[in-house]
Amino acid sequence: MTDIIINLTRSLCGACGLCIDVCPFKNLELVEGEVAYTGETCISCGHCAAACPNGAIQDPVIDSSEGEYETFIADKQWLPHGQYDTPGLVRLMASRRSCRNFIERTMDRALLDDLVKIGITAPSGTNCQLWTFTVIPTRKAVISFAGHIASFFSKS
Ligand code: SF4
Ligand code: SF4
């Protein structure tokens, strides 16, 4: 066996089998009534930890500090496996607007940091999170940057 990334607390395992069902690499199985990692490839997707109703699995690659925000208090409790707040999601998405009434004001750094943290909760292929955010905090810098982008594409 190689690449074991998750932490199992077997004493918390209720042998429900949910983690076994959701693992895309079939890394987990019940051995003598307890869950065990018997696979070879863990991509640290976190599905097993998310599905476990007893908190018996932790994925140490998932940085819990990413759920700490400075400008608001987040509910960090994951929804139980199979329970989703679909009406809430639809309401949020339907309420979204592209507001273009910009004002000249430097944004608070904490708010910008929180926005990036929210952004990285989006899905990424195999949870690789290979992304880079460039925060341009002033309107003047945005306009300057837009000029460089336009210049680049007008030459190509
Ligand atoms: S983190 Fe993902 S790949 Fe690794 S054991 Fe859990 S479900 Fe399987
Ligand atoms: S989901 Fe949790 S309780 Fe269920 S088998 Fe896996 S580790 Fe045990």
Question: 6 alpha carbon to ligand 1 midpoint, in Å?
Answer: 7
Q: Which ligand places an atom closest to the C-alpha of 41? A: 1
At 3 the pLDDT is: 63
User: Which residues of the chain does CATH 3.30.70.20 include?
Assistant: 1-62
Q: Is the CB of 14 under 6 A from ligand 2?
A: yes
**Which numbered atom of ligand 1 lies nearest the CA of 49?**
6
Read off the pLDDT band of 156 (50, 70, 90): low
106-130 pLDDT, tens per residue? Answer: 889 999 999 998 998 888 877 777 8
Given a cut of 80, whether residue 137 has pLDDT beyond it is no
Q: Is the CB of 23 under 6 A from ligand 2?
A: no
Given a cut of 50, whether residue 1 has pLDDT beyond it is no
Q: Which residues contact 106 (CB under 8 A, 6 or more apart)?
A: 137, 138
pTM exceeds cut of 0.75: no
Centre a 10 Å sphere on the Cβ of residue 69 and count the other Cβ atoms it contains: 16
- Comparison of pLDDT for 31 and 78, the residue scoring more: 31
11-22 pLDDT, tens per residue? Answer: 899 999 999 999
For 1, the token pair is: 């066996």
Q: Is the CB of 17 under 6 A from ligand 2?
A: yes
Q: Which residues contact 78 (CB under 8 A, 6 or more apart)?
A: 50
CATH of domain 1-62: 3.30.70.20
